[in-house]
Amino acid sequence: MASILVIEDEQRIRESLATRLSERGHDVETVVNALEGIERAVSGAFDVVVLDLGLPDLDGVEALRMIRAVSEVPIVVATARDDEQDIIDVLNKGADDYVVKPYSADHLEARIRAVLRRSGDSNDSEIIVVGGLRLDPDSHEAILDGRNLDLTARAFDLLVYLASREGKLIGKRELLAEVWRQPYGGADKTVDVHLSWLRKELGETAAAPRYLHTKRGVGVRLVDPKR
Ligand code: CA
């Protein structure tokens, strides 16, 4: 159950979402324009915001940017634009996920759940230790046997995701959905490339693994090599 703000100018969509999401036990508030939406979104009263990109008073991408400037509230963008470049653009501007219109309330709710799960993860800023590996999600610091690792933000996120699930075999699809936020797939190679960077930084290879163990065609698990 979540407290959800829906910013949507189309009455039919707004009312249907309010009904369907309330039926599922969520607390839903709706607003019809961007300016009011921004004000409500940054109030701290909501677990997640659903933002229509096509609003009458302000471009939705601009609204997204304004909310992001002052608030970390998770945002799911609803867009009629299914152009990949547009979607990449809104994700880069701080949207946590997106749905392309027309979408069902079920589909939106699944995306909301995924976003809440992830934001729950990122709020959990405990330091993760696996063997000689120490990860601080707050400071984005990764240390291996006392040595600072030089990781890109995405490689760090990938490492945190794997390390916080120590010993669990994780598929590439899950990694694409949870770390890359591409729930509908994407290039498998992306994961492979990042895993290979990680291995290099961790001083190991796929043939002689220590922390990162790949099971071909299935996924990867991070383990404590001393165990
Ligand atoms: Ca609209």
189 in the same domain as 118? no
Q: Is residue 227 part of a domain?
A: no
Whole-number Å distance, alpha carbon 95 to ligand 1 midpoint, is 17
Q: What is the pLDDT of residues 82-96, one digit of tens each?
A: 777 888 888 888 899
207 in the same domain as 158? yes
Q: What is the pLDDT of residues 90-146, one digit of tens each?
A: 888 889 999 999 999 999 999 998 888 877 654 446 889 999 999 998 788 999 999
Q: Is the pTM of this model over 0.75?
A: no
Query: Is a pLDDT exceeding 80 seen at residue 184?
Result: no
Q: Which domain holds residue 205?
A: 128-222
Whole-number Å distance, alpha carbon 77 to ligand 1 midpoint, is 11
55 in the same domain as 23? yes
Query: Is a pLDDT exceeding 90 seen at residue 11?
Result: yes
Of 100, 122, 144, the residue that ends a domain is 122
Number of domains in the chain: 2
Q: Is residue 7 part of a domain?
A: yes
Whole-number Å distance, alpha carbon 49 to ligand 1 midpoint, is 15
Whole-number Å distance, alpha carbon 55 to ligand 1 midpoint, is 5
Q: Which two tokens stand for residue 23?
A: 């039926």
Whole-number Å distance, alpha carbon 35 to ligand 1 midpoint, is 14
Q: What Rg do the C-alpha atoms of the chain give, in angstroms?
A: 19
Of 97, 122, 147, the residue that ends a domain is 122
Give the CATH number of the domain where residue 17 resides: 3.40.50.2300
